[in-house]
Structure 1
Amino acid sequence: TVPRLFIADGAKALSKAIRRTFGSAAAIQRCQIHKARNIMERLPKQHHAATRRVLRQAWELDDADKAEKLIRNLARRLDQQWPGVAASILEGLDEILTVVRLKLPKDLRRSLACTNIAETMMGTIRRVTRNVKRWRDAGMALRWIAAGMIEANKGFRRLKAHKQLSVLRAALQARHNRMTINPVAHVTRAA
């Protein structure tokens, strides 16, 4: 019943697990950095700059409908020569624009549009646990992960837009209210 924002790297299994656990109306933001990287891997190098520019422009817009239209136009232009790239751009389009649809302030949107927050901690946990050669049991793994998180905590900084988190809470609550009052309005668009 508590509305939450989940920031994920785009793994379909993860999105499915989030929706199964927290309901079909769970707000999921796809990592824009991972999305852009996946698109660039499939696109010839000479088209990287222009494509990145369009994606960045769309993600910085305050109007989600305009951002979606811009991204769909990009996919349409690329569809002739690289249909796989176009499909990749459209796949998960709603989840890429979640923070834009929530109408969050730009600084907060920038912080919540990617998984960098979690990846920093995960990198520290990897570094702390890399010399463990024999994992005896799950309890040992949990203790080492906790040690890694304590180590990562030393490097944590305050979220740049931490003073705007109340805006996030209000936006998530408003979205949750819309979804529970009119659940038919929440239809995942097929890419």
Structure 2
Amino acid sequence: IHELGLSPELARSLSTTNCIESVMSQMGQYTDKVDRWHNSSQILRWTATGLMDIEPRLNKIIGFRYLSVLRIKLREIVRQRLQRKSKVEEPETMEVSMVRANGDRSI
């Protein structure tokens, strides 16, 4: 969180798992009553219904106005990592093609 340079308010909210634990605890009131899930669409329906029911009781994340900045920064990090990953894979390919271009077949 520190490396992202987030606002102090948002960083404080996201530095703990309290907001996730609160949602999971409230969702347990719905899902714990089910003895057997029949299929994945049933799970999705129960989850959606539960989330819609608890939504009014959820607190706002302090610094929620900066969530768009967080999304932009996370997308940039993912883009950079994907570029680095593709660059790591490229040298092997380039080396093989250079060797073949020189006529050396002892690969």
Q: TM-score, normalised by structure 2?
A: 0.60
Q: What amino acid is aligned across from residue 135 of structure 1 in structure 2?
A: W
Residue 111 of structure 1 contacts residue 159 of structure 1 at CA under 8 Å; is this kept in 2? Answer: yes
- Equivalent position SS for 1:101: coil
Q: Select the residue among 11, 15, 31 that pairs with 1:129.
A: 31
Any unmatched runs of 5+ in structure 2?
A: 86-107
* Pair 1:163 & 2:65 matched: yes
Following the alignment from structure 2 to structure 1, what is the Cα–Cα distance between the partners of residues 76 and 39?
43
Percent identity, aligned pairs only, is 29
How many Å apart are 1:127 and its aligned residue? Answer: 1.0
Q: Select the residue among 49, 61, 65 that pairs with 1:147.
A: 49
How many Å apart are 1:170 and its aligned residue? Answer: 3.9
Does the C-alpha gap of structure 1 residues 126 and 175 become closer, same or farther in structure 2, counting only changes over 3 Å?
same
Deviations 1:64-115 (A, max 9, x none): xxxxxxxxxxxxxxxxxxxxxxxxxxxxxxxxxxx11111121111122233
Residue 70 (structure 1) aligns with = none
Q: Select the residue among 151, 154, 172 that pairs with 2:74.
A: 172
How many Å apart are 1:178 and its aligned residue? Answer: 4.1
Following the alignment from structure 1 to structure 2, what is the Cα–Cα distance between the partners of residues 134 and 169?
37
Higher relative contact order (CA 8 A, sep 6+): 2
- Give the strand-richer structure, 1 or 2: 1
Does the C-alpha gap of structure 1 residues 176 and 129 become closer, same or farther in structure 2, counting only changes over 3 Å?
closer
Q: TM-score, normalised by structure 1?
A: 0.37
Q: How many residues align?
A: 85
Larger Rg: 2
Deviations 1:36-72 (A, max 9, x none): xxxxxxxxxxxxxxxxxxxxxxxxxxxxxxxxxxxxx
Aligned CA RMSD, in angstroms, stands at 2.5
How many Å apart are 1:116 and its aligned residue? Answer: 2.3
Following the alignment from structure 1 to structure 2, what is the Cα–Cα distance between the partners of residues 173 and 139?
30
Residue 124 of structure 1 contacts residue 151 of structure 1 at CA under 8 Å; is this kept in 2? Answer: no
Following the alignment from structure 1 to structure 2, what is the Cα–Cα distance between the partners of residues 169 and 163?
11
Alignment of 1:48-127 (within 5 A): 99-127=1-29
